[in-house]
């Protein structure tokens, strides 16, 4: 073009090809919807599934790809994909792998919104849903149309530990896929793929974010063909994540193993203290010797999340428990976990799943990064509200 471009055109089209020479120690935020191709041939030959190409913002930028690489590296598998929440990682997996008439085996203690999605697949698309007891893999009933075995360990809220190797062995003997929601272990505490998982789901919203301010989920897989199936479903659903959110998680990842381990120690100290509290029937923390699921936990896990539950004695009423939770000063009342701040949630007896073995009501604690003794003192003052 001979004519000098107007200032307004130059505003619209600066030299995009200029690359920075800045050598920083961060992964930059690279945003895109449109991705420009050099030639018509390259545009026509684009491959949506090729991880070495950039074709459209929804399908990844260098920032989102970097996070995928790191997550695949943590799990020691070739493939990771990002979804806008832990729940969408669950629903995308179910939708990608199941068709009408297929049967899924689900533990009754799994994350409730995932179960709700599966129930809608059951009523809308005639996917068959059966529940199994994760503590008794020998009772597993595999039928001709069983396609997928779902595992969550420990179970949401009630913390039963599943025998992953035994369950996976039975499933694989029948050609059934094993998907595990391993959010509690966070890629740190459980070698899920080594123990038999085919697909691992994480709510990155938790420890990997660490800031109580990002929603994201991931799916990691070993198999190329399962990866392709999942990726195609993600693309069909149009599910992508923000590079800014990926940047926040990339910033948190170097220290999340440290946070996980420090919080684990704090939570175990607090849980052991609570075991001595006379108003408590049971402390559901699998890393505590004598707690339900401890033996399987000790065999398969190398650490524990700082998330556990307590069961009150049956004579303690829900009203008293609500008052107990509201009188906590350092523990806040809210969903999700994985950030710096400690949380507590009371559950009603009729919210508990069929396998819940106790009479009393339950409170789930998330132990954050506060000083352990401050948290113990806070719990002690809250227990005093139950005395009168
Ligand atoms: C939080 C959580 C999820 C859902 O994650 P979101 O990002 O909140 O959608 C799924 N499974 C487990 C076990 C969780 O703790």
Q: What is the pLDDT of residues 309-329, one digit of tens each?
A: 999 999 999 999 999 999 999
Query: What is the distance of C-alpha 319 from the center of its chain?
Result: 31
Show the beta-strand stretches assigned E in the chain.
Answer: 79-83, 103-107, 128-132, 146-152, 177-181, 199-203, 217-221, 280-284, 307-312, 343-347, 362-366
Give me the pLDDT at residue 103, please. 98
* For the chain, counts of helices (H) and of strands (E): 12, 11
Do the strands 79-83 and 343-347 form a parallel or antiparallel pair, or are they unpaired?
unpaired
pLDDT band at 383 (very low <50, low <70, confident <90, very high): very high
Its CATH architecture, for the domain 256-387, is Alpha-Beta Complex (3.90)
User: Of ligand 1's atoms, which has the minimum distance to the CA of residue 206?
Assistant: 1
- 193: Cβ below 6 Å to ligand 1? no
- Is the predicted pLDDT of residue 63 greater than 70, yes or no? yes
Give me the pLDDT at residue 72, please. 97
- Is the predicted pLDDT of residue 350 greater than 80, yes or no? no
Higher-confidence residue of 53 and 388: namely 53
- 156: Cβ below 6 Å to ligand 1? yes
Give me the pLDDT at residue 74, please. 97
Q: What is the 3-state composition of the chain as percent helix, strand, coil, each rounded to the nearest 5? A: 40, 15, 45
Helix (H, G, I), strand (E, B) or coil at 384: helix
Among residues 273, 272, 180, which one has the least CA distance to residue 219?
180
Among residues 23, 22, 48, which one has the least CA distance to residue 35?
48
Residue 311 forms beta bridges with which residues? 282, 362
Nearest CA to ligand 1 atom 4: 86
Residues 220, 305: Cα–Cα separation, whole Å: 20
- 85: Cβ below 6 Å to ligand 1? yes
Separation of CA 184 and ligand 1 centre (Å): 9
- Is the predicted pLDDT of residue 19 greater than 80, yes or no? no
Asked if 30 and 62 count as a contact pair (C-beta separation under 8 A), the reply is yes
Give me the pLDDT at residue 352, please. 77
Do the strands 103-107 and 146-152 form a parallel or antiparallel pair, or are they unpaired?
parallel
Separation of CA 334 and ligand 1 centre (Å): 13
pLDDT band at 206 (very low <50, low <70, confident <90, very high): very high
40-253 CATH pick, 3.10.580.10, 3.40.640.10, 3.40.50.10440, 3.40.50.300: 3.40.640.10
* C-alpha dihedral sign at 370, 373, 376, 378: negative
Per-residue pLDDT averaged across 230-255, rounded? 97
- 109: Cβ below 6 Å to ligand 1? no
Nearest CA to ligand 1 atom 5: 86
User: Of ligand 1's atoms, which has the minimum distance to the CA of residue 183?
Assistant: 13
Per-residue pLDDT averaged across 357-363, rounded? 90
Give me the pLDDT at residue 132, please. 93
Residue 139 carries which DSSP code?
G
Per-residue pLDDT averaged across 131-146, rounded? 90
- Is the predicted pLDDT of residue 13 greater than 90, yes or no? no
40-253 and 256-387: identical CATH topology: no
| Residue among 107, 114, 214, 336 to mutate when testing ligand 1 (max atoms within 8 A of CB) | 336
Q: How high does pLDDT run on average in the chain?
A: 95
- For helices 372-384 and 318-326, what crossing angle results, to 10°? 140
Query: What is the distance of C-alpha 131 from the center of its chain?
Result: 21
Separation of CA 179 and ligand 1 centre (Å): 15
pLDDT band at 2 (very low <50, low <70, confident <90, very high): low
Report H helices in 25-106: 40-44, 62-75, 86-97
- Is the predicted pLDDT of residue 135 greater than 90, yes or no? no
- Is the predicted pLDDT of residue 200 greater than 90, yes or no? yes
Give me the pLDDT at residue 6, please. 86
Q: Distances in Å between the alpha carbon of 115 and those of 146, 151, 373?
A: 17, 12, 37
Residues 289, 298: Cα–Cα separation, whole Å: 9
- 210: Cβ below 6 Å to ligand 1? no
Separation of CA 38 and ligand 1 centre (Å): 41
| Residue among 150, 206, 366 to mutate when testing ligand 1 (max atoms within 8 A of CB) | 206
- 150: Cβ below 6 Å to ligand 1? no
Nearest CA to ligand 1 atom 6: 86
Among residues 362, 342, 341, which one has the least CA distance to residue 350?
362
Per-residue pLDDT averaged across 100-114, rounded? 94
- Is the predicted pLDDT of residue 21 greater than 90, yes or no? no
pLDDT band at 138 (very low <50, low <70, confident <90, very high): confident
Give me the pLDDT at residue 388, please. 59
- 153: Cβ below 6 Å to ligand 1? no
- Is the predicted pLDDT of residue 105 greater than 80, yes or no? yes
- 199: Cβ below 6 Å to ligand 1? no
Per-residue pLDDT averaged across 16-43, rounded? 91
Residues 49, 338: Cα–Cα separation, whole Å: 32
Residues 279, 387: Cα–Cα separation, whole Å: 10
% of the chain surpassing 70 pLDDT: 99
User: Of ligand 1's atoms, which has the minimum distance to the CA of residue 110?
Assistant: 13
Report H helices in the chain: 7-12, 40-44, 62-75, 86-97, 112-125, 164-173, 224-237, 243-252, 256-275, 294-300, 318-326, 372-384
Per the document, the length of the chain is: 388
- Is the predicted pLDDT of residue 344 greater than 90, yes or no? yes
Separation of CA 214 and ligand 1 centre (Å): 12
- 300: Cβ below 6 Å to ligand 1? no
Residues 11, 226: Cα–Cα separation, whole Å: 45
CA angle in degrees (0–180, nearest 5) for 143-115-256:
110
User: Of ligand 1's atoms, which has the minimum distance to the CA of residue 114?
Assistant: 10
- Is the predicted pLDDT of residue 77 greater than 80, yes or no? yes
Give me the pLDDT at residue 338, please. 97
- 339: Cβ below 6 Å to ligand 1? no
Residues 156, 284: Cα–Cα separation, whole Å: 11
Give me the pLDDT at residue 134, please. 84
Among residues 195, 194, 192, which one has the least CA distance to residue 183?
192
Q: Distances in Å between the alpha carbon of 273 and those of 266, 276, 372?
A: 11, 6, 11
Give me the pLDDT at residue 1, please. 64
Domain ranges in the chain are 40-253, 256-387
The radius of gyration computed from the CA coordinates of the chain, to the nearest angstrom, equals 24
Separation of CA 86 and ligand 1 centre (Å): 5
Give me the pLDDT at residue 16, please. 82
Nearest CA to ligand 1 atom 11: 111
Q: Omega into 201 within 30° of 0, i.e. cis?
A: no
């Amino acid at each position: 073009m001979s004519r000098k471009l107007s200032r307004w055109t130059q505003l619209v089209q600066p030299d995009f090809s200029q690359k920075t020479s800045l050598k920083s120690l961060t992964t930059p935020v690279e945003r895109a919807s449109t991705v420009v191709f050099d030639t018509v041939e390259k545009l026509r030959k684009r491959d949506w599934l090729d991880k070495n190409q950039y074709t459209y913002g929804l399908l990844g930028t260098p920032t989102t790809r970097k996070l995928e690489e790191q997550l695949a590296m943590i799990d020691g598998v070739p493939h990771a994909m990002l979804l806008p929440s832990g729940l969408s990682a669950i629903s995308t997996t179910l939708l990608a792998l199941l068709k009408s008439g297929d049967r899924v085996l689900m533990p009754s203690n799994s994350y409730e919104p995932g179960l709700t999605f599966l129930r809608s697949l059951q009523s809308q698309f005639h996917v068959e849903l059966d529940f199994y007891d994760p503590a008794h893999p020998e009772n597993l009933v595999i039928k001709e149309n069983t396609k997928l075995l779902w595992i969550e360990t420990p179970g949401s809220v009630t913390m039963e530990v599943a025998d992953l190797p035994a369950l996976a062995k039975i499933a694989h003997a029948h050609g059934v896929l094993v998907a595990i929601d391993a959010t509690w272990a966070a890629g740190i505490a459980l070698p899920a793929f080594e123990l038999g998982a085919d697909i691992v789901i994480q709510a990155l919203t938790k420890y990997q974010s660490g800031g109580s301010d990002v929603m994201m989920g991931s799916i990691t897989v070993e198999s190329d063909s399962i990866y392709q199936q999942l990726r195609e479903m993600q693309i069909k659903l149009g599910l992508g994540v923000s590079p800014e959110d990926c940047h926040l998680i990339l910033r948190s990842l170097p220290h999340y193993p440290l946070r996980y381990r420090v919080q684990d120690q704090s939570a175990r100290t607090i849980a052991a203290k609570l075991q001595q509290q006379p108003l408590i029937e049971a402390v559901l923390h699998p890393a505590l010797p004598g707690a339900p699921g401890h033996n399987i936990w000790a065999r398969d896990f190398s650490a524990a999340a700082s998330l556990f539950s307590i069961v009150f004695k049956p004579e303690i009423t829900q009203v008293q428990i609500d008052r107990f939770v509201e009188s906590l000063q350092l523990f806040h009342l809210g969903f999700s976990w994985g950030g710096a701040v400690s949380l507590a949630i009371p559950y009603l007896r009729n919210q508990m799943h069929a396998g819940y073995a106790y009479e009393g009501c339950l409170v789930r604690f998330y132990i954050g990064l506060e000083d352990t003794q401050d948290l113990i003192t806070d719990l002690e003052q809250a227990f005093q509200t139950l005395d009168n």
